[in-house]
């Protein structure tokens, strides 16, 4: 059995978890989150400088709380993990330096974790999770990707957004509608009272240079513009904005596009399991549509547990446990942080000559 202390500070959630694995099952011993969302929502989005300062203030308390709730001590810990990429550099640095300092001080191995590998690992925090190969739809504030997982840590990206990520589209459209940040939950809430078929918004496609479209890629910036134009048109006609209908129609089209392209990809690739992870995976309409449409094609769907869709440290701990159990590796103490790094190259985070 291994016990991991994990830290997540890539964006606007400061999070600390203690996880262990026994007989292949991941146990959550502590899971602490200090959300900064309220503070950032005053500015309509994440302010990087505020985010890193708050991580610095929050982390010591969260670590203390995790140890006191789990009744564990630092000497019980087998490895310390922290998100090192991708994310806001200043925020990543706070988690990474805290983890490396503790690891150095107590002579414990350190593991740098790729944030998207963390989101992928959130599926292992659910009771029923599939074994690779499977297709992952990863939808968050920064990413919209279709990733084929051949075996643990063997990733192949088959689709991606060419502009806004799905979560980013939710955040931007919420702003257009005067709804608070983060946009996903605000749109979901108000969309419950709207007609999803009221406005027919476009399903953005990405053209291939030689003609045709990329079957598994996404584009959400045109959709955002279409919503903007619709709002302007209604305003110019002096009509009361049907915010509920606009929100519902937008949410519906995003869910449809994500589900249609994921299914197309899974069927073409002969994969019979789809895994849904990331902040936008918390969206009820998307979850329900994925379940209902996939069952028509006899494709299994595994949904990340609701509480582990948005950023948290439990998923970072789960990813670290998988790294440790598949190969007893660790990262160099020289490993820094990077705002961007491809998931396919996450093995290099365990190289003794780190890539950043």
* Binding piece for ligand KG4, criterion CB under 6 A, among 177-185, 206-214, 223-231, 341-349: 177-185
Residue 159, binding choice from Zn ion, ligand KG4, none, Cβ under 5 to 8 Å by partner class: none
Q: What is the size of the binding site for Zn ion (CB under 5 A)? A: 2
Q: β-strands 273-277, 134-139: how paired?
A: parallel
Non-local CB neighbours of 71 within 8 Å, separated by 6+ positions: none
Draw the binding track, 310-339, toward Zn ion (x: CB under 5 A; -: no contact): -x----------------------------
Of these, 51, 311, 319, 330, which contacts ligand KG4 (CB under 6 A)?
311
Residues 146 and 158 sit within 8 Å (Cβ to Cβ): yes
When asked if residue 278 is in the footprint of ligand KG4 (CB under 6 A), the reply is yes
Q: From 144-152, 254-262, 284-292, 304-312, give the range in contact with Zn ion by CB under 5 A.
A: 304-312
Contact 31, 17 (CB under 8 A): yes
List for the chain the helix, strand, coil content (%; round to 5). Answer: 45, 20, 35
Q: Is 188 in the site for ligand KG4 (CB under 6 A)?
A: yes
DSSP 3-state of 311: coil
Smallest distance from ligand KG4 to CB 119, Å: 6
Which option in Zn ion, ligand KG4, none does residue 317 bind, with CB closer than 5 to 8 A by kind? none
From CA 203, how far away is CA 263, in angstroms rounded? Answer: 15
Smallest distance from ligand KG4 to CB 153, Å: 20
Q: Which two three-digit tokens encode residue 325?
A: 């159990």
Query: Is residue 81 a contact residue for ligand KG4 (CB under 6 A)?
Result: no
Return the number of the residue (31 or 140) whose C-beta is nearest Zn ion. Answer: 140
Q: Is 167 in the site for ligand KG4 (CB under 6 A)?
A: yes
Residue bearing tokens 């069927």: 267
Cα separation, 345 vs 271, whole angstroms: 23
Whole-angstrom distance, CA of residue 122 vs CA of residue 326:
17
Centroid of chain to Cα 10: 11
Which tokens is 66 given? 């995790």
DSSP conformational letter for 10 = S
Number of residues assigned to the chain: 356
Q: Are 117 and 319 in contact (CB under 8 A)?
A: yes
Residue 176 interacts with which of Zn ion, ligand KG4, none, CB < 5 to 8 Å by class:
none
Interaction of residue 95 with ligand KG4, rule CB under 6 A: no
Spatial separation of the C-alpha atoms in residues 161 and 213, rounded to whole Å: 13
Q: What angle do CA 119, 123, 124 make, to 5 degrees?
A: 115
Least Å from the CB of residue 299 to Zn ion: 25
The answer to whether 303 and 126 have CB atoms below 8 angstroms apart is: yes
Residue closer to ligand KG4, measured from CB, 77 or 318: 318
Q: Which of 227, 282, 290, 321 binds ligand KG4 (CB under 6 A)?
A: 282
204 membership: H or E segment, kind and range: none
Q: How far is CA 331 from the centre of its chain?
A: 22
Q: Is 70 in the site for ligand KG4 (CB under 6 A)?
A: no
Residue 283 site contact among Zn ion, ligand KG4, none (CB < 5 to 8 Å, cut-off depends on kind): ligand KG4
Does 185 participate in binding ligand KG4 (rule CB under 6 A)? yes
The answer to whether residue 140 forms part of the interface with Zn ion (CB under 5 A) is yes
Interface of this chain with ligand KG4, residues 8 to 27, rule: CB under 6 A: 11
Q: Shortest gap between Cβ of 274 and Zn ion (angstroms)?
A: 19
> What is the smallest separation between the CB atom of 243 and Zn ion, expressed in angstroms?
27
Question: What is the contact surface with Zn ion in residues (CB under 5 A)?
Answer: 140, 311
Question: What is the contact surface with ligand KG4 in residues (CB under 6 A)?
Answer: 11, 140-142, 167-168, 170-171, 182-185, 188, 278-280, 282-283, 310-311
């Amino acid at each position: 059995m291994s016990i991991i202390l994990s830290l997540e500070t890539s964006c606007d959630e400061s999070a600390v978890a203690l996880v262990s694995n026994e007989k292949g099952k991941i146990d959550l011993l502590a899971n602490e989150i200090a959300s900064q969302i309220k503070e950032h929502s005053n500015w309509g989005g994440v302010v990087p400088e505020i985010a890193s300062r708050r991580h610095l203030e929050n982390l010591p308390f969260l670590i203390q709380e995790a140890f006191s709730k789990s009744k564990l001590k630092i000497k019980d810990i087998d490895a310390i993990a922290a998100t090192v990429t991708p994310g806001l550099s200043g925020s990543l640095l706070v988690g990474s330096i805290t983890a490396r300092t503790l690891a150095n001080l107590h002579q414990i191995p350190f593991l740098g974790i790729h944030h998207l590998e963390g989101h992928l690992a959130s599926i292992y925090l659910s009771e029923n999770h599939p074994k690779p190969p499977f297709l992952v739809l990863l939808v968050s504030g920064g990413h919209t990707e279709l990733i084929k997982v051949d075996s643990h840590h063997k990733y192949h990206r088959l689709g991606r957004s060419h502009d806004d990520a799905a979560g980013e589209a939710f955040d931007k459209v919420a702003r257009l509608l005067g709804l608070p940040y983060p946009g996903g939950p605000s749109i979901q809430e108000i969309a419950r009272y709207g007609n999803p078929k009221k406005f027919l918004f476009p399903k953005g496609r990405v053209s291939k240079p030689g003609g045709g479209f990329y079957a598994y890629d996404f584009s959400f910036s045109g959709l955002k513009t279409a919503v903007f134009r619709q709002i302007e048109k209604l305003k110019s006609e002096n009509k009361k904005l049907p915010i509920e209908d606009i929100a519902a129609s937008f949410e519906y089209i995003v869910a449809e596009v994500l589900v249609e392209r994921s299914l197309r990809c899974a069927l073409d690739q002969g994969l019979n399991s789809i895994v849904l992870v990331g902040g936008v995976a918390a969206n009820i309409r998307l979850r329900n549509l994925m379940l209902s449409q996939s069952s028509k094609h006899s494709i299994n769907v595994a949904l990340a547990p609701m509480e582990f869709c948005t950023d948290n440290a439990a998923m970072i701990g789960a990813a670290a446990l998988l790294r440790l159990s598949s190969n007893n590796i660790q990262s160099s103490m020289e490993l820094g942080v990077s705002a961007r790094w491809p998931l396919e190259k996450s093995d290099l985070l365990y190289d003794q000559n780190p890539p950043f």
